[in-house]
Structure 1
Amino acid sequence: MTRLRRPTLTSLGIAVGVTAAWLALHVAAVWRLDALAHPGQAVLALAGLTWLSVGLFIIAHDAMHGALAPGYPWVNAAIGRVALTLYAGFSWRKLIVKHMAHHLYAGTASDPDFGHGHRPVVLWYLDFVRTYFGLREVVVLGGATIAYALILGPRWPYVAFWAIPSILASIQLFVFGTWLPHREAGAPFTDRHRARSTALSVPLSLLTCFHFGGFHHEHHLHPAVPWWALPKTRVAR
């Protein structure tokens, strides 16, 4: 068996770490935290789960590009499916098709992410949600909510620690990973990728969107580079 290279081991280790952290915080928030008695802890839990939910999506995104485990498509697909299921019950097949279209047809009417670049930001976000959130996601999330309510009984409002972070993460992903990099504003785009990298420091880039805002143009230029290595590819400005 071929030995895994160090970048692959790093990517896999980070993916496992983010997923484990999300699961641990989710279980603690839903099953153990008394949010009404400890509102400060509840807010911190929501913030942490939102950021980790963004991380789950970015892990799946790396898997779509084969950047998680290069040369092991089944590993990428397996981890990507798990991450998307935990995030919001998304379909791996549906998202990978649409995301590849985003890279192939960047900035055109065939681009599912950027085709609404001239629209107001709220309408663009609603289009973004409609593109990726369909019947499957409604069934998965709805079924999970019902199951949690049956199990938790009077504690059922605590399912908010899954639903609310997923919604907030979608806004965070949209603003920093789609709207800011791809909006039609300011200077013209420099190439066919029609993408910009936002002027964020490396720590802020990590906190906002796991480097997919601060280094979005670099990602389009180097789609096989995992998210954590994007700062090394920074294009001179």
Structure 2
Amino acid sequence: MNKVNNFTGLFWAFALLTLWLAHLSYVLAHPLDFLSPWTYVHVLIQTHLYTGLFITSHDAIHGVVSPAYPKLNHGLGWVCATLFAFNNYAVLRKKHHWHHDYVNTEQDPDVHQGNFFVWWFKFMWQYVTWQQVLAMAITYNVLKIWLPMENLIVYWEVPAILSTLQLFFFGTYLPHRGEHAPENKTQSRSQKRNHVWAFISCYFFGYHYEHHAHPYLAWWKLAEAKDYKPER
């Protein structure tokens, strides 16, 4: 598998940042109509774009947003993590490397085999801080001076929560749940090959065996890795 070049990573990072901001600005400025199906379509779009922000931050952790310029790479990772509900990029970076180094062991901060909801709670507990909650509360109360409260909740807060669930379900729970063969060093599995669904569900991170086997690959290269590797 070929590594990503500098310009492709930057292109996708800025594209996702621009789309996230443009769509959020659009929906926040328009009246909210709960009877319109477009309201729910916009929620799903914004959820997907939030997931794109986090995936970009994740790729920055692996140094593939801008490999030749580490400061720019991690700067963009920090911006994306901050825009995604004020996540702490430094904490994400440290713990995600732990996840790769100690996957599916007691030292793995992401994997907690067992009940789905208990696992999700423990997963969230690793990353959510009181500083993050406080920053969200302050930002919400400032923004509602100029923007409708309902729009902020429906288009800014709800998609972030849904995206967190999306990332956990497709990018952690499904790939790592249950038993894995000892010879499977990635301790992960992949969803069946379907590139359209893989992109819609979680930017190809359902191809999780490929990600752990080739962590230097950016999200859009995982489909190529899936085509290259046998089914897992």
Q: TM-score, normalised by structure 2?
A: 0.92
Q: 1:166 aligns with which of 128, 138, 160?
A: 160
Which one of the candidate residues 16, 19, 22 is aligned to 1:21? 19
SS at the partner of 2:145? Answer: helix
Q: Give, in whole Å, the separation in 2 of the partners of 1:212 and 1:190.
A: 22
Superposition map of 1:31-110 within 5 A: 31=29, 33-36=30-33, 39-110=36-107
The alignment of Structure 1 onto Structure 2 pairs a total of residues equal to: 226
- 2:132 corresponds in structure 1 to 137
Q: Deviations over 1:30-55 (max 9, x none)?
A: 12x21127632211110100000000
Residue of structure 1 equivalent to 2:28:
30
Structure 2 residue runs without a partner (length 5+): none
CA distance in 2, matches of 1:221, 1:201: 19
Aligned with 1:175 (options 151, 166, 169): 169
Q: Who is 2:145 aligned against?
A: 150
Q: Cα–Cα, structure 1 residues 236 and 189, in superposed 2: closer, same or farther, change >3 Å?
A: farther
Unmatched segments (≥5 aa) in structure 1: none
Moved over 6 A (4+): none
Query: Aligned partners of 2:184 and 2:52: how far apart in 1?
Result: 28
Report whether the alignment pairs 1:11 with 2:4: no
The aligned amino acid for 1:28 is Y
Quote the residue 2:185 is aligned against: 192
Paired residue for 1:206?
199
Aligned to 1:226: 218
CA distance, structure 2, for counterparts of residue 101 and residue 84 of structure 1: 18
TM-score normalised according to structure 1 size: 0.91
C-alpha distance in 1 between matches for 2:14 and 2:183: 36
The letter for the 2-side match of 1:156 is M
CA distance in 2, matches of 1:125, 1:60: 20
Structure with the greater relative contact order (CA < 8 A, sep ≥ 6): 1 or 2? 2
CA contact (8 A) 2:4 2:64 kept: no
Is the alpha carbon distance of 1:23 and 1:189 closer, same or farther for their aligned partners in structure 2, counting shifts above 3 Å? farther
